[in-house]
A and B are shown apart, each in its own frame.
Chain A
Amino acid sequence: MTGLLYALLSLGTFALLAGIVLAVAQKVFYVEGDPMVDKIDALLPQTQCGQCGYPGCKPYATAVASEGEEVNHCVPGGERTMLAIADLMGVEPKAVEQEAAAPMLAFVREDECIGCTLCIKACPVDAIIGAPKQYHTVLADHCTGCELCVEPCPVDCIDMLVKPELIEHWSWPLPETRRSRLGHERREHHAGHA
């Protein structure tokens, strides 16, 4: 009888201690938000363009992480982003439906701008400056090319231009040998079916 009592007591004490440790750990190591969301968000190109059907990159990341949304909806991110997210989530990669266009840049034709500030409000990354009844202009260094400013403009004075290629950003292409091309293609093929 006492043997049973000892066993109950010691196990009970142990369980109590473990419970306290767990309770404390839960408070001390509490993680705010879903870490997966941030990880996916970090892989997205942050254009905030909404082409995925969500109002920005973070909402799409949240949907992928917790609502089981497909990984292939990010258009500007292209295949590389899709593969990275699929790899992170541990799901099958899916083909990207829409080809990513060349990087674009919004440009305000200033003499036609009426200074309505509508594009300024639409810009998700605060890349347009101006004041009411003053010309607006796009900060080329910050524009993500999301096109969200084009539609609200009442006088259609915003053009989307292809981002000029800078000589500083030029990089060497893959050497033009048959072998290098084959090797590269094989790798891409494998990556697609990883």
Chain B
Amino acid sequence: MPAMLRNLAQRLGMMAHSFDGGIHPSDHKLGAGLHSEPCPLSPVHILPMKMHIGEACLPLVAVGDRVLRGQKIARSEGYVSVPVHASTSGRVVRIEEYAIPHPSGMGMPSIIIESDGDDASDDSLEPITDWRNTDPALLRERARMCGLAGLGGAVFPTFIKLVQDSRFPIETVVLNGIECEPWLTTDHRLMLEYADEILTGLAIIMHMVNTDSAIIAIEDNKSDAAEAIEQALALRDDLEGARVVLLPTRYPQGSEKQLIYSLTGREVPAGKLPMHIGMLCQNVATARALYRAVVRAEPLTERLVTVSGDAMPRPANLHVRIGTPMRYVFAQQGLTDFEDVRILHGGPMMGELLRHPDVPVVKSTNGMLAMLEASFMGGHTQEQACIRCGHCSEACPAGLVPNLLADQCRSDQFEKAESYDLFDCIECGACSYVCPSNIPLVHYFRYGKGQIAQQRREKSFAEASRLRSEAREMRIERENQARAARRSSVRKTHAPAAESTAKTDAAGDSAADKTDEGSKD
């Protein structure tokens, strides 16, 4: 249907809203029918000092210290940060740089814990069962203290969003159970198995932002999950304002801004957040983690991970302790030989390709996929010329023109790319997916964004250096003037005997200079 007609129909309420573009990749949800199970406790746990978006933490423990499960082992530095907790009891054996799941393959200072097998918990935290009558600010502090970060994959510190801001009151909470990435099934399983915990988490969120309206958004390929949530919802009397909305399956439906548009027909402006239009989005896994943090006083030390992929002997949904080495998790499911296997952290659309499995499971690990080299998208190495078919523009959920942007990024015309709204790109990869010429469009955008960020950093560093250097010159100037003034005043007092005292005068001056410089430093 032509876009204009569709738009008109949506406006008149004859048709449901839906974001523009999007694709339908085959979903490969092998784990959808597999009940979640605990992953055995690994002998070592590697806890990077940063598993969230924001500033890194500083270790609170030293090598040799004994720690308990849930004990805070690193404190956050700065506002946009959450602390790190030990995920099992044991001994700190090393604090050193360790590779983390990151496309650069670089490392991060990490605390390495050897588990003692007891898995004893630190129960210094008190459960808050009466959260309904608890000050939201206290609950917010609890969310921060327990290390909660968005478990959908973006790992933005949760507590920052859970705030009552009088300028931007939250009208509706959106609970995101879309999980549009192929292969991943963690949110699906959570909704089926822990519907009540998720709903309590939602109720806590609604209490914290003081609203009584909520939408639980689920894609229609997970109708069993929607049913489970509906049933759990019917049994509760405290969530009357919450409703389940089933949306058509389309990637990237789960992206915050696209989801809000599909649900309400309202767009989050570029560079703004959902809270600016009165919305708050939280992932279902985060809602459950919040319930656990508040009602059960459990810091975030475990998460559900989809272990899957076409090279995986036994796909599964595992409750894995954060910090467990991925090699260990793969081994539990029968994968030990990594030859001709590529490992993905997260889903195939937005996940990161890892160089080796010797990295820990972190808070953002929603999936670990082992893909056969042969089935992997190797076609992108044979990039061909753009044939201007326009498929990428049709697929782009942000309404951009990917082929043009890619040209600009490829040839370093970054200002132009920015003026074509490069930063509105959500890096969903839909354009790369549909491109018949195998152009790695989204990689060009990542390159462009990275270069622009670096230029900005250099620019602000240069500006700061310039200010410092100017301040220094002004200070030297001032000091010279002060010195000259002193010198002339000394001369005046000795004026009658100027001739004879000239020598001592100069000596006195240089002495004064020295003390002056000393005091300056």
**Hey, which bits of chain A sit against chain B, CB under 8 A?**
41, 44-48, 56-57, 117, 120-121, 124-127, 130-132, 142, 144, 165, 167, 169-180, 183-184, 186-188, 191
Contact = CB atoms under 8 A, between A and B. Distances in A.
B24 interface: no
B411 A175 contact: no
Question: Which of B104, B411, B443, B462 has the most chain A CB within a 10 Å cutoff?
Answer: B462
A167 B472 contact: no
Contact of A178 (B100, B383, B464): B383
A187 B407 CA distance: 10
List 6 A-B pairs, minimum CB-CB distance, nearest first.
A171-B450, A187-B411, A177-B383, A172-B446, A46-B465, A46-B462
A124 B410 contact: no
B471 A171 contact: no
Nearest to B381: A177
A142 to B, nearest CB: 7
Contact of B381 (A56, A176, A186): A176
A1 B498 CA distance: 77
B489 interface: no
B494 interface: no
Contacts of A174: 410, 443-444, 447
Question: Which of B382, B383, B463 has the most chain A CB within a 10 Å cutoff?
Answer: B383
Interface stretch (B81-89, B207-215, B279-287, B451-459): B451-459
B469 A56 contact: yes
B451 A142 contact: no
User: Could you tell me the dominant secondary structure of chain A's interface residues?
Assistant: loop
Contacts of B517: 117, 121
Given A175-B443, A184-B411, A124 B472 contact: yes
A154 to B, nearest CB: 16
Given A170-B106, A172-B103, A177-B381, 4 more contacts: A47-B465, A117-B517, A169-B457, A172-B443
B440 interface: yes
B104 A126 contact: no
A31 to B, nearest CB: 19
Contacts of A175: 380, 383, 440, 443-444, 447
Contacts of B464: 142
Interface string B384-421: 11000000000000000000000100111100000000
Given A46-B469, A48-B465, A167-B106, A177 B380 contact: yes
B102 A117 contact: no
A167 B137 CA distance: 33
A41 B466 contact: yes
Contacts of B407: 183
A120 B141 CA distance: 44
Contacts of B106: 165, 167, 170
B521 interface: yes
Contacts of A47: 465
Contacts of B104: 167, 170
Interface string B79-116: 00000000000000000000010111011100000000
Given A57-B466, A172-B446, A177 B440 contact: yes
Contact of B465 (A125, A179, A186): A125
B518 interface: yes
Question: Which of A125, A127, A131, A176 has the most chain B CB within a 10 Å cutoff?
Answer: A125
Nearest to A129: B521
25 contacts: A45-B465, A46-B462, A46-B469, A47-B465, A117-B521, A124-B472, A132-B521, A142-B464, A167-B102, A170-B104, A171-B446, A171-B450, A171-B453, A172-B449, A172-B450, A173-B447, A174-B444, A175-B383, A175-B443, A177-B380, A177-B381, A177-B383, A179-B384, A183-B411, A187-B412
B478 interface: no
A170 B108 CA distance: 13
Given A47-B465, A120-B521, A126 B447 contact: no
A130 B521 CA distance: 7
Interface string B273-308: 000000000000000000000000000000000000
B452 to A, nearest CB: 9
B468 interface: yes
B444 A127 contact: no
Contacts of B521: 117, 120, 130-132
Contacts of B458: 45
Contacts of B381: 176-177
B105 to A, nearest CB: 9
